[in-house]
Each structure stands twice: as C-alpha cells, then as structure tokens.
Amino acid sequence: MQPTLSDVAKEAGVSAITVSRVLNAPEQVRPATRARIESAIDKVGYVRNMLAGSLASASSRVIAAIVPSLSNVVFIEVINGLQSEFERHGYQILLGNTDYDLERECQLVRTFLGWSPSALVITGLRHSDACQRILQQWEGPIVEIMELGDAIGFNVGLDHTEAGRCMARHLVQRGYRRIIYVAAQIERDYRAELRYRGHREVLQAAGLEAPLLDMDQLGQFETGARALDQVLARHPNTDAIHFANDDLASGALLHANRQGIRVPEDIAIAGFNGLPIGQHVTPRLTTIVSPREVIGQMAAREVIARLEGEQTLYSSHDVGFTLSVGEST
C-alpha cells in the first residue's frame, strides 16, 4: 500500500495537516519542521494522492482540453501552446479527441467536467444543444478556440470567413477567373466551411462562379493529389484551386511536380494554415498563416490569469492571420 500523509506525519512527529502545508504552502511551516517533514517524505517514499486532495479542495489543477482531431498538425500545435504555458504553472492536461463528432464532444465534456477541472478549453463555437446547456451551467472558466464569434466563455481565434475572403480576393486580383474551392469532408469541418463562404461571397461579388469540390476522405497529401486529378479531369479549364488547408494544397503541389503540371502556369494552387511544408515546396505555396501556437498560449494565459484571481472580463481575442504569397498563384 502506498504511504499516506499521516504515515509521513507519524514519521516526522507532526500532524497530517502540517505535512499537507509543506506540500501546498511551505512558507507557512518553520524551516526546521519543513526539513524534517521533507526527509520523512523521502524516507517513506510518499507519493501525493491528487484524487483525495482535489476532492477535498474542490480544485484539481487539471485542464480539460478538447480538440476535434489529433491527425491534424494544427491542433497539435495548439495543444503544444497550451501545454507549454499550463505545465509551467503546474497544471496537467486531460486530452480529449472528438473526431469531429458533436455527440462525442458532448460525452467528453460530461466526463471531463466530472474531474472538476480548473478550466475547459474546447475547439470551435458549435456544440450540440445538450453540450451547450452543460457548458452554460458550468461555473469554471471556458475558452473556445480557433473560431471567433458568439462564445460561451473566452474566445481566442481568427475570423475564418474573412480568411476565405482574403484568399479569394487575392486570387481574383491575380486574374484567375475559374477558381474552385476544394475541401475534405467539409460538413465535418465547420471552419473550412466558413472559409468557403467567404470565398464564395467574394467570387460572386466579382460575378464569378464558386464551385466546390468536397473530397470524401479526410485531408492529407494523398487526398490533395487525387483532388488535383479530379479537377483537371472534370473541370479542365479551371485556372486556380483554393484548398481548404495546406495538407491538401501541398499534396496537390507535389503531385503536380511529379506529373509535370506547371504551377501556377497550368493551374494555381493556394492553401490555408501556413504549415512549414508550404514554404519548402517549389513553387512556394500561397497560403494564409494562422498563429496556431499563439492560440494555445493566449488561451492558456487567459485561463491562468483568471485562475490566479485577476479579474479579466470574458471577451474575445482575434489572433489574426497573414496572407503569405508564394509563387504558386
């Protein structure tokens, strides 16, 4: 059996609560006593029981983080940003993956709240009704990341509709007229859809059509390559492809290289995210750079500030984006 606080207390000849203080507020214990207790801790090989502590104090120093996917580098970077900030302040991350499924998200939120997390970081602004209700009722800090809009708690992200507009404007300005938007399973990725809406808006305003090609597998290189083939076969006079993300776009670009299709002369290619790969392919990919790690860090900082008692009001933070023009458009 693991030794408990009172085993340590017995060993050190003090009461359990004094040992607890050494762990939680060492400055309240006289240095001599503290040293004695610390060596007792080592001696009996005490490992703190976080469950009991969190139950008694009703606070766990656990952050529940819910993302839609772990296959997508973007969320990894966000998690990385969260981690780096939270770990520094002594918080642990409980990680959940919804696989873009709102039902699963609801289930996860339910379970995670049962851990009395110090805060909840969740991706996106769209949740099932049940989930929405649970979130609204919960008293701890909530941060909704990635998108901007009508949030329950604090909100860190960027305006995806505007990002879509921005890229569409760029393409139109460059003189492209037969532009297709290519996504992978767009109905599951609301942010890709928002970008499409912005894109379509701009194209229609310019009197252009805004066709959409939705691939039925989740987006990686392979899907991008296949999408390029499909576009060339079915819409042969397309002059530019606006991809929903850099994975797809890079896949298409690398495929074009292999096939001897010239970019942008035969067809222009644009992406979204600003992944490193886009800057290393030839030609460099035109894309929209989103500060992904910053989203995680901002979210974490906001939560930490709140938890340490600073009275910040719930509000939202636009991390913005940058159009990075490569030679692919």
Partner DNA sequence: TAATCAAATGTTAGCGCTACCATTACTTTT
Partner DNA sequence: AAAAGTAATGGTAGCGCTAACATTTGATTA
Residues that bind a second copy (CB under 8 A): 45, 47-55, 60, 62, 70-71, 73, 76, 79-80, 83, 87, 92-97, 110-116, 134, 137, 220-222, 225, 250-251, 254-255, 257-258, 276-277, 279-282
Of the pair 194, 253, the CB lying nearest a second copy is at: 253
Q: Which does 158 bind (CB under 5 to 8 A by kind): a second copy, DNA, none?
A: none
158 binds DNA (CB under 7 A): no
Closer of 13 and 276 to a second copy (Cβ): 276
C-beta of 114 vs 207, nearer to a second copy: 114
Return the residue of 52, 88, 229, 327 that touches DNA, per CB under 7 A.
52
Site string for DNA, 12-31 (x = CB under 7 A): -xxxxxx-xx-xx--xxxx-
| From the list DNA, a second copy, none, partner contacted by residue 137 (C-beta under 5 to 8 A by kind) | a second copy
If the CB atoms of residues 52 and 205 are measured against DNA, the closer one turns out to be 52
**Is 50 in contact with 90 (CB distance < 8 Å)?**
no
Q: Give the nearest distance from C-beta 60 to DNA in angstroms.
A: 11
Residue from 35, 55, 70, 205 that binds DNA (CB under 7 A)?
Answer: 55
Which of the choices DNA, a second copy, none does residue 280 contact, using the CB cut-off of 5 to 8 A by kind?
A: a second copy
Q: Are 16 and 23 in contact (CB under 8 A)?
A: no
Q: What whole-number distance in Å separates Cα of residue 283 and Cα of residue 174?
A: 16
- Residue 37 CB, shortest distance to a second copy, in Å, is 17
Determine the residue type at 10: K
Nearest Cα residue to 135 out of 64, 86, 70: 64
* Shortest Å, Cβ 206 to a second copy: 33
Q: Which of 39, 43, 45, 49 binds DNA (CB under 7 A)?
A: 49
**224/259 Cα distance (integer angstroms):** 14
Adjacent-strand bridge partners of 158 = 147
Instruction: Kindly state whether residue 90 participates in binding DNA, applying the rule CB under 7 A.
Output: no
Q: Long-range pairs for 151-155 at CB < 8 Å and ≥24 separation?
A: 151/125, 151/314, 151/316, 153/120, 153/314, 154/299, 154/302, 154/303, 154/306, 154/314, 154/315, 154/316, 154/317, 155/125, 155/315, 155/316, 155/317
Other Cβ atoms within 10 Å of 234 Cβ, number = 11
Spell out the residues 6+ positions from residue 138 whose beta carbon is closer than 8 angstroms to its own: 113, 120
Return d(Cα 303, Cα 256) in angstroms, integer. Answer: 45
